[in-house]
Amino acid sequence: MLVTLVLLMFALSCTPLWARDVEITVQDADVGAPLEGALIRSDGGEYTADEHGVCIVPVPDEAPMVITITYPGYEALRVLIPLRETVVIAALRLAGILENRELVLEAAGPGADAVAPGRGVAIAGGELARTAEMGIVEDVMSSLKLLPGVGYTGFFDAMPSIRGGDPQDLIAVLNGFYIENPYHWGGAYSIFDPRMTERAQLSHGVFSSRFGNTVSGLLELTSKRPSSEVVTMDLGVSTSAVDLNLSLPLRGKGGLMVMGKVSYWQPFIEAAHLFMPISRNVKQAPWITSGGLSANYRFTPNLEWTLSGFIGNDGIGFAHKNQLEEVAISGTSSLSHFFDNTIGFLITGLQMHPLNTMVVKTSLGAGFTQTNVNIDMKDTLSIRYTQDFLDIYGDSLMDPSTGEPKTSYQIDQDAYHHETKRTIHYQGGADLDWELGKGFLIAAGVQELYSQWGFNQHDYEPYDNGQLVNSPENPLMALDFTADVHNDAFSSAAYTLLEYASANRVFGTELGVRLDHSYLIGDDFSIQTIPVLNPRLNLDWRILQNRGPLEALNLTLGTGLFSSIDESLHYLEKRHGVADFDLKPTRSWTSLAGTSLEFFPGLRLNIEGYFKYVFDRTYTSLDVQAQGADLVYRFDGEGRIWGIDVLLQKTESRYWDGWISYSFTHARYRDPQGVVSNKTIIGNEVVGTGWYYPAFHRFHTVNLVVTIKPLRQFHIAARLGFTSGKPKKEQGPITSTLVQTEDGQLIEQFMRTETYSDRERTTFSLPLDLKFSWYRFDPKGRVRSEIYFSVENILALFLPSIKSTVVNRYTGAEEEAGGMAVMTQLAMPLPSFGIKWSY
């Protein structure tokens, strides 16, 4: 199937496409000399001017398009290509503003071709809109999850594994600001609305030493910039939300854009009641409310100020009550689960050009997050002992008043889990880029991140199923756990790098080094890491150019070191016994080799192979003793990851565009000291001290993304994926045990043992989403509209569903899981529609 799809895409790409080609001539504004090698980026890709300064760029017919042109030492130029225009002359000026090295943050360059091979892959412009602006929640992560190297997560999950790394290790950076926990609903969706995002780049290779705090993946996002000349407005009304973007110019020197979004999910929940009875447990419909702003102002040609901000709140609530009237059990059992989350941040910065060849940037920002989880349970039950249980333990259950074994016992208990996490962080940094001439650029910078972590938790359960014992001499104690942790952390970093690009970009290299250091301060302790050096090297060659249908053949090699601080250290306390300099950041050494082939017209094939060795990895074990349990921190974990990513992409054209990708990932981890007191708990998986596949691992992932445009006003977008299963625990039999509670009552408790298995896997996944869009654009006016209808998860009704089950501790029966698991079990197609207006 995969081979057929690849051949079909190649065949279609070689057929004539009746796209509008625009001839763009780039020249010096003062002397009129052609600028050979000028870079032109559009929504369709990246193009290079020839020796005459001429380049042919395909442009969609249905709307005007903005292109960005850059050349070393010249001011970047953004040009609007009107409808039906076929010839454009662009004149660049030596105006003392060096924008060339900042193009990835300024231009709307989409696709893999906007990022150097071996660093990552980017998506923007039309590609971002078509793949992210669909579904019941429009999310930038919906697009990024379709890129090579990104593991499939399933429905209601925006936290993918990047090239075999832990999903928690993916770090997000918006306009240079590190964002902690950038998710709604505990990771179901990200906070990044595609209507607020200009460009998203996923760096999963050997990326620049400008960035750190991750060993797996870096998500760089650029918010949309307001227009400095005209008022613009975007309004969208969809199945579950309404959003508005308004941009106002500021005296022709900048602009201010405000953005807002409000969701309304109650109609969707009511409709789900007809097909899924379990959805009736949703008592508080999910909600998302968010707002953002983006502003910039150019005081002088050499000084610009920027501002970005975001505030958002989300939550959901479940409540479930069972009235039981059965032979084995009778009474009532209830569960409520309520979750809410708030996140906000504000970033400001200055960009200065003290010299024609120099850019200096400074930034300062602050942000916060707070998450509340409240789970309450109440059981009032009368439970009969099973006959098998009575046959074994009947003598221990004698009723002195009757001389016969008791046949039942009573449970009247309240249990709860209340948790609050708070984080406040402040960030500052300064960066310098200096063009030295003859293709050389040197850069350096410093970054400081100060975080305040707060964590409060209170758990109470009269009969804790996690402490089952076989002897009445060791009674089943009530779980009564309280945590109140407040830690401060300083993360300091400095970097420097040297870039070189030869004439016509035949050879390029980037050599950089980054120094990272962390310092943790608790209520009665302080510890720090030994500073770590993270050198990185990339080499790029353009081996062939303009050979028949082959536009270019590129080769890239890269290797580098990376480091990050594990999130579990937020909860570190003095009693955990971690000494100064025993604290270690998780490290990884990543190496890769890749090639890219560019064909006419607009076809690109990328192939990358990589190996990643993870060392000094932080993990925790649960030390279970008679007096209780506690976490033990270890810093000697390992990981060996290798794989290959393939991307075949067709850039935007008149009738169709899209890509097909394939990823193979082999990831194994090991925790040398994972066993404490003959038991280890890591992500709810008992794995021991040997090598294991992590719970998020998948071997194979295939994605096909295509947009078909039979008419200029009508487009069909499709997303089809195939992925192999995740590791599944091997389940043992359900057994019952006699235990004694601390109040002296003898009860029967059921449990099922689960063990890690290299062989067991969940079933494959085959997601299919479709979107039908109707566009209307008036060439004489400024209003553009879109009406769309989409369906997600179309094949859900025809594929085996995966349901979460739990063992009833009182009866031994398997039951459907409640709480947040309800949202992940929506095995049904999800239709949505929307109307959008742009002015």
Give residue 530's pLDDT. 93
Task: Write out the two tokens for 797.
Answer: 């009704």
**How many Cβ atoms are within 10 Å of 7's Cβ, its own excluded?**
10
Calpha distance 323→326 (Å, rounded): 10
pLDDT band at 68 (very low <50, low <70, confident <90, very high): confident
pLDDT one-digit tens code per residue, 181-194:
899 988 889 999 88
Average pLDDT over residues 157-175: 91
Is the pLDDT assigned to residue 521 strictly greater than 90? yes
pLDDT one-digit tens code per residue, 535-560:
999 999 999 888 888 888 999 999 99
Quote the mean pLDDT of the chain.
Answer: 82
Give residue 826's pLDDT. 55
Q: Are 250 and 198 in contact (CB under 8 A)?
A: no
Task: Write out the two tokens for 612.
Answer: 């990643």
Q: Is pLDDT larger for residue 733 or for residue 365?
A: 365
Based on the number of CB atoms within 10 Å of its own CB, is 48 exposed (0-12), middle (13-18) or buried (19 or more)? Answer: middle
Is the pLDDT assigned to residue 71 strictly greater than 60? yes
pLDDT band at 100 (very low <50, low <70, confident <90, very high): very low
Nearest CA-CA partner of 225 in 114, 342, 304: 304
Q: Peptide bond before 601: cis, by omega within 30 degrees of 0?
A: yes
Is the pLDDT assigned to residue 424 strictly greater than 90? yes
pLDDT band at 479 (very low <50, low <70, confident <90, very high): low
Is the pLDDT assigned to residue 225 strictly greater than 90? no
Beta pairing, strands 45-48 & 814-816: unpaired
Phi, psi of 701 (to 5 degrees): -140, 125
Please state the pTM of the whole predicted model.
0.81
Q: How far is residue 835 from each of residues 82, 243, 261, 544, 839, measured CA to CA in Å?
A: 25, 11, 14, 46, 14
pLDDT band at 472 (very low <50, low <70, confident <90, very high): very low
pLDDT band at 259 (very low <50, low <70, confident <90, very high): very high
pLDDT one-digit tens code per residue, 453-463:
999 988 887 75
Is the pLDDT assigned to residue 207 strictly greater than 50? yes
Calpha distance 594→645 (Å, rounded): 9
Q: Are 124 and 223 in contact (CB under 8 A)?
A: no
Is the pLDDT assigned to residue 742 strictly greater than 70? no
Q: Are 337 and 820 in contact (CB under 8 A)?
A: yes
Amino acid identity at 221: L
Choice among 335-349, 577-591, 702-716, 821-835 with the minimum mean pLDDT: 821-835
Beta pairing, strands 550-564 & 628-650: unpaired
Average pLDDT over residues 156-167: 91
Calpha distance 369→182 (Å, rounded): 9
Calpha distance 460→598 (Å, rounded): 61
Calpha distance 419→370 (Å, rounded): 10
Q: Is pLDDT larger for residue 35 or for residue 605?
A: 605
Give residue 449's pLDDT. 95
Give residue 16's pLDDT. 34
Nearest CA-CA partner of 146 in 699, 649, 640: 649
Task: Write out the two tokens for 342.
Answer: 């708030």
Q: Is pLDDT larger for residue 386 or for residue 561?
A: 561
pLDDT one-digit tens code per residue, 593-642:
999 998 877 789 999 999 999 999 998 876 655 455 677 888 999 999 99
Q: Are 769 and 718 in contact (CB under 8 A)?
A: yes
Beta pairing, strands 171-174 & 784-792: unpaired
pLDDT one-digit tens code per residue, 356-390:
889 999 999 999 999 999 999 888 888 888 888 78
Percent of the chain with pLDDT strictly greater than 70: 82
Calpha distance 23→307 (Å, rounded): 36
Choice among 290-304, 490-504, 663-677 with the minimum mean pLDDT: 663-677
Is the pLDDT assigned to residue 342 strictly greater than 90? yes
- In the numeric block, the tokens 């553009």 are attached to 784
pLDDT one-digit tens code per residue, 747-798:
787 888 778 888 899 888 899 999 999 988 765 667 888 999 999 888 887 7
